Structure 1
């Protein structure tokens, strides 16, 4: 059931008040550091994703929207700048095209892939400083994750794709802060963003998933721009009988979760999970467990009789392709993720291709990998600490059995990657996107708070 606010204010009121009142100096240095890491990771996967077919489609549509307007906003993979809303759409699509972007368990949402493109586009549109871009990204992240926490994961479990539903809220919050909208305009913008939100998990494994991320970024930017010009939005967008809580979330919405904005920081807890490999996060813990068993026990792949993965229901729901036929299906396949990782020691962007899917060694391994949900996942306590965990058992042909439980994957907030690993991923992504200016862009991102103009963030050559 919906939990009423403690002071009779609406969810929009709480969000707008915090957005308008936040000053950059109020953000702890630890939160800024996490945000920089998220931006480095997101721009990296965005640049790699710009080389994908779906990102090219999004750029073509964005170019049509921009028309003859030159714009001031970077679009990765394009030879020209574009207007803010078009750039947010194209870059948001690219950021999620490879499913290599981060995740937050406050709402089970891909946050940065939507918020970062929106914030970058608006920051370049108004020529904001790097400090303002960083703050706006934090504002968008905290607002989106607070709403995610208030939703108590019902959205995702019901079948909505949280990135499409919550993404416009985060993108709008970031844009509203950058545009310095007043209290009334910010509330209107948020109302517009909530009223227009949507996204179905039916799109998983298709172009729709990446395009929905781009659309969410664009929707947030458009909502803020419309409010800037006087448009109004529903003040009770969450609580209305035809609003967010009832229609999207089975009537559940704990508005008091929003009171923690600025007191507790979602970027710190529950934190952000950065992907080590470019497939759905639901497979990562099992992949890590399988690799650990292989490395620690020294058996060969030819000796394996079977691999079984006992996983929670969300993993079963997400990884629906036992015999994937396309790159997008492979990214939602436990069998593919484990088979490639065992064969090559890791799973990289270079493995997401038709050749790998037709490799007889890959096919053979996939056929002996089983995934099921055991009775242990009936425990709410276990689900709380291991929402996408895995119990992996590898049985050899000689009957020997090896077992490993992993509550969280490498790269998650519970087991984070090192700075060196983050930067290595970033540079690999830039190489995949055929850019040679990785060290310059990386240095600019690390020094973002000192950058005078966001238009100088991305080197012009090879944009």
Structure 2
């Protein structure tokens, strides 16, 4: 089947053909929520050292231009804006995820669309159409190469994300399906990102390069640049070179709940998503049983074996490493450290004696073939009592209004300290009115730091 199904052409056809009338009402609201979350984490991430380094590099390279940088005062060329805004949005590892993609979809799609949309003066409705086209592409390509692609060590956000950014930018530019299939070929030859760099500045860089590559691929294809139109499924193409799997049926089949966007998962802890279920287990045990950490004798965590190569740094020494440490984040949750607070992840917290003691009491039982989002925890206290809980962080919220309230709380906590109350409200209002905007440049400019 893999040899005969034209996967690239079919995914390109679906992305190019998506129009406003195809979108259920809830997808427009979900897009707004993705934007609220994305701008929040990007404005906060724009203050990180890695973002400053990328801005300095761009300006030193002569990339000053008209495109807005979120949360900053500098302006750069559109390609540089896609790279920098993309990296900034993933800098805190606080952005949304989707398990069909196997990574972070919004951080690859939105930066390319904002850079291109500001330049084109694209309408808000065109932005939404393009966002959904890119988002759905991320789920399709992710399912095509799962699970082998991720198991080989590739960071899906950087690799699969190159195709989602291409689809989004290509849809905004009005590429037809043949042009978009070629654009996928251009993206495929650039797609990269290694999991071995988790816990370093390179992980967020993957999101930025995916967005930049996608923007470049769509633009080059529009100008007649050539590439194969079957890059996903061809021999020595993306799937055969970077995965042991090419599942065309999964890629082209009906997504769960009809749309991949309906399975978007937002983060409410500022750490790797695979730490979220263990954090929730630890929080539930602490809040319901009210014991001091000193009473803990043993901690047993059961979690999918895939987490071993993603977030199992046993002795973190930096705030960034703490985000990728199951032992650290569980210990933080058990001692009442606010895992949603960006300032909680720092060098000092990794050296806190109570935290280190709890880390040493924890054993991890990695379970093969478990759901990535499932965790079970058993804590034994000094009187022999054992407390057991389980949590699955991979279930999308059914109540969209409740989800909106949680995202708006996150938005206010991250945006207001940097843009001020008036600036936060201005940006929030622009996101709310996105389907009415005649120029999405108004949206991204509302996020700039004066």
TM > 0.5: yes
* Structure 1 residue 286: Cα displacement: 1.0
Match of 2:316 in 1: 324
Match of 2:272 in 1: 280
- The correspondence for 2:391, drawn from 403, 406, 409, is 406
Match of 2:429 in 1: 443
Query: Does 2:163 match 1:169?
Result: yes
Match of 1:18 in 2: 14
Asked if the contact 1:123/1:133 (under 8 Å) is kept, the reply is yes
Query: Does 2:37 match 1:37?
Result: no
What whole-Å deviation, never above 9, does each CA across 1:258-311 have from its counterpart, x for those lacking one?
A: 25489931112xx01111111011111111011111211222222222221111
Q: TM-score, normalised by structure 2?
A: 0.93
Distance 1:66 1:446 in 2: 35
Match of 2:137 in 1: 143
Q: TM-score, normalised by structure 1?
A: 0.91
Task: Give the match's secondary structure for 1:405.
Answer: strand
Distance 1:461 1:239 in 2: 41
Asked if the contact 1:50/1:433 (under 8 Å) is kept, the reply is no
Asked if the contact 2:97/2:104 (under 8 Å) is kept, the reply is yes
Asked if the contact 2:72/2:448 (under 8 Å) is kept, the reply is no
Distance 1:13 1:461 in 2: 38
- Residues 148-163 of structure 1 aligned to structure 2 (within 5 Å): 148-163=142-157
Distance 1:61 1:461, change over 3 A: closer
Task: Give the match's secondary structure for 2:335.
Answer: helix
Stretches of structure 2 lacking an aligned partner (at least 5 in a row): none
CA RMSD of aligned residues (A): 2.2
Asked if the contact 1:44/1:426 (under 8 Å) is kept, the reply is yes
* Structure 1 residue 356: Cα displacement: 1.7
Distance 2:432 2:68 in 1: 19
Distance 1:255 1:292 in 2: 39
Match of 1:459 in 2: 446
Match of 1:198 in 2: 192
- The correspondence for 1:113, drawn from 97, 104, 107, is 107
Match of 1:78 in 2: 72
Match of 1:3 in 2: 2
Distance 1:340 1:311, change over 3 A: same
* Structure 1 residue 162: Cα displacement: 0.8
Deviates most, 318-327 or 452-461: 452-461
Query: Does 2:379 match 1:394?
Result: yes
What whole-Å deviation, never above 9, does each CA across 1:188-219 have from its counterpart, x for those lacking one?
A: 21111122211111111111111111111100
Match of 1:367 in 2: 360
Asked if the contact 1:195/1:234 (under 8 Å) is kept, the reply is no
Query: Does 2:222 match 1:228?
Result: yes
- Residues 338-349 of structure 1 aligned to structure 2 (within 5 Å): 338-344=330-336, 346-347=338-339, 348-349=341-342
Match of 1:358 in 2: 351
Distance 1:123 1:66, change over 3 A: farther
* Structure 1 residue 362: Cα displacement: 2.2
Distance 2:353 2:27 in 1: 46
Query: Does 2:53 match 1:61?
Result: no
* Structure 1 residue 461: Cα displacement: 6.0
Asked if the contact 2:114/2:441 (under 8 Å) is kept, the reply is no
Q: Give the count of matched residue pairs.
A: 446
Stretches of structure 1 lacking an aligned partner (at least 5 in a row): none
Deviates most, 246-255 or 163-172: 246-255
